[in-house]
């Protein structure tokens, strides 16, 4: 892992459409570790982090919906909503591929006492009184990305779903599959604690790659047909290939995994029906925006899911380096470390 540490920076100022948020809670993400490791290229002196909630500190003159003191959720992805990609329905790609991902990619992220939010009216959401910061912060990325995995999977009601890897995104994809009405959800996971959480969040069966051939197991569980939808929530060659193998002809492989290594992601030719089995591969980056975040917060408000079961560690902000070490080396059964400011 490359070096992480603390820097003194000035409090940012808002442009007319922007806001400055005083951070209260944040979550560390595996993609932060990828960034430190150089997966998106070198990043010098860039503030990390993209999952946070906070209190509005200052707003620009055009901001209509928020005022200082408001308790807000900020999306991990903060698109430019006037962009052509946004107008065509792909706001996470505004400004170019992955361009809606600004925090800790193209601008300073949220692991700071204050951070800047572009287009505040569109990229923040007020947190309902009944939803705690510890819950709401999961909507920045984990619920949005995981649910998107299910949404893009076009799961038929009663349909069959395999979720490859029950890390935080896979777990929320499992919840998403259940909320979408899946009839059978198979979690692919080897870590006992994650298997248990997958069951808590809606998995009906577990395929354990440390003990069995998971492709065969999934085929057995689906009477040899394969699943309607496979959700790839890890970003590894083997899980991506297995996702294609277990998906029935006409089914959907919904990729939400971050493929952080290698030059190519390869497709198993025969199981892909030599290109003609009508298996659709969908990909997407965490959707942002106020509408989306208000929906996700409603799911918490009505107690459809409790994401805080994934909070395995809590650190004060000044112990951030330790949090990074635990996340990077996947120590101590880590799922999501919560950072308190």
Positions in the binding site for Zn ion (CB under 5 A) = 29, 31, 141
Between 81 and 138, name the residue whose CB sits nearer to Zn ion. 138
Nearer to Zn ion, 20 or 172 (CB): 172
Comparison of 91 and 105: residue with beta carbon closer to Zn ion = 105
Which residue lies nearer to Zn ion by CB, 19 or 26? 26
Q: Which is nearer to Zn ion, 246 or 296 (CB)?
A: 296
Q: How many CB atoms lie within 10 A of CB 170?
A: 29
Whole-angstrom Cα distance, residue 136 to residue 86? 25
User: Residue 12 or 146: which CB sits closer to Zn ion?
Assistant: 146
CB 27 to Zn ion: min, Å: 7
What residue is closest to Zn ion based on CB? 29
Interacting residues of 120 by C-beta distance below 8 A, sequence separation 6+? 14, 17, 18, 19, 59, 60, 63, 65, 66
> Minimum CB separation from Zn ion for residue 77, in Å?
10
Q: How far is the CB of 49 from Zn ion (least distance, A)?
A: 9
Q: How far is the CB of 326 from Zn ion (least distance, A)?
A: 16
Instruction: Kindly tell me the burial class for residue 7, based on how many C-beta atoms sit within 10 Å of its own C-beta (0-12, 13-18, 19 or more).
Output: exposed
Reduce the DSSP state of residue 71 to 3 states and report it: strand
CA-to-CA dists, residue 77 to 35, 53, 63, angstroms: 15, 13, 19
CA 60/CA 64 separation, integer angstroms: 9
CB nearer to Zn ion: give 74 or 155.
74
Nearer to Zn ion, 1 or 249 (CB): 1
For Zn ion, the closer CB: 141 or 228: 141
CA distances from 5 to 8, 99, 102, 129, 320 (A): 10, 26, 20, 34, 8
Q: At its nearest, how many Å lie between Zn ion and the CB of residue 31? A: 5
HSE, side-chain direction, 13 A CA sphere, residue 245? 16
Rounded CA gap, 165 and 124, in Å? 30
The minimum distance between CB 29 and Zn ion, in angstroms, equals 3
Rounded least distance, CB 308 to Zn ion, Å: 16
Shortest Å, Cβ 271 to Zn ion? 30
Query: What distance in Å separates the CA atoms of residue 286 and residue 144, rounded to the nearest whole number?
Result: 6
Task: Report the distance separating Cα 216 and Cα 224, nearest Å.
Answer: 8
Instruction: Answer whether 52's CB lies under 8 Å from 23's CB.
Output: yes
Closest distance of CB 60 from Zn ion, Å: 26
The label of the residue with tokens 């298996």 reads: 279
Considering only CA atoms, which of 168, 236, 159 is closest in space to residue 204? Answer: 159
Burial category of 190 from C-beta neighbours within 10 Å (exposed 0-12, middle 13-18, buried 19 and up): middle
Distance CA 93, CA 82 (A): 12
């Amino acid at each position: 892992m490359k070096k992480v540490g603390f820097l003194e920076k000035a409090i940012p100022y808002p442009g007319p459409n922007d806001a400055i948020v005083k951070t209260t809670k944040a979550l560390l993400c595996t993609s932060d570790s990828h960034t430190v490791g150089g997966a998106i290229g070198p990043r010098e002196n860039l503030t990390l982090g993209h999952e946070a909630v906070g209190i509005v500190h200052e707003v620009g003159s055009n901001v209509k919906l928020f005022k200082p003191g408001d308790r807000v959720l900020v999306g991990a992805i903060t698109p430019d909503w006037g962009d052509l990609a946004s107008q065509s329905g792909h706001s996470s790609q505004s400004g170019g591929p992955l361009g809606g991902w600004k925090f800790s990619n193209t601008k300073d992220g949220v692991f700071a006492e204050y951070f800047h939010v572009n287009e505040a009216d569109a990229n923040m959401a007020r947190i309902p009184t009944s939803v705690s910061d510890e819950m709401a912060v999961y909507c920045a990325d984990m619920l949005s990305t995981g649910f998107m995995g299910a949404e893009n999977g076009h799961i038929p009601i009663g349909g069959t779903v395999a979720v490859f890897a029950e890390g935080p995104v896979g777990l929320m994809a499992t919840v998403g599959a259940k909320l979408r009405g899946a009839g059978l959800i198979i979690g692919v996971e080897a870590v006992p604690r994650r298997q248990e959480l997958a069951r808590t969040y809606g998995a009906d069966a577990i395929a354990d790659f440390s003990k069995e051939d998971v492709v065969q197991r999934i085929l057995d569980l689906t009477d040899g047909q394969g699943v309607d939808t496979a959700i790839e929530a890890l970003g590894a060659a083997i899980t991506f290939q297995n996702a294609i193998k277990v998906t029935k002809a006409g089914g959907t492989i919904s990729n939400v995994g971050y493929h952080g290594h290698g030059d190519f992601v390869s497709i198993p030719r025969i199981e892909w029906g030599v290109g003609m089995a009508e298996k659709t591969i969908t990909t997407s980056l965490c959707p942002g925006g106020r509408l989306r975040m208000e929906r996700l917060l409603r799911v918490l408000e009505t107690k459809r899911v409790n994401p805080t079961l994934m909070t395995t560690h809590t650190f004060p902000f000044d112990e951030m380096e330790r949090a990074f070490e635990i996340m990077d080396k996947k120590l101590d059964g880590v799922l999501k470390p919560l950072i308190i400011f």
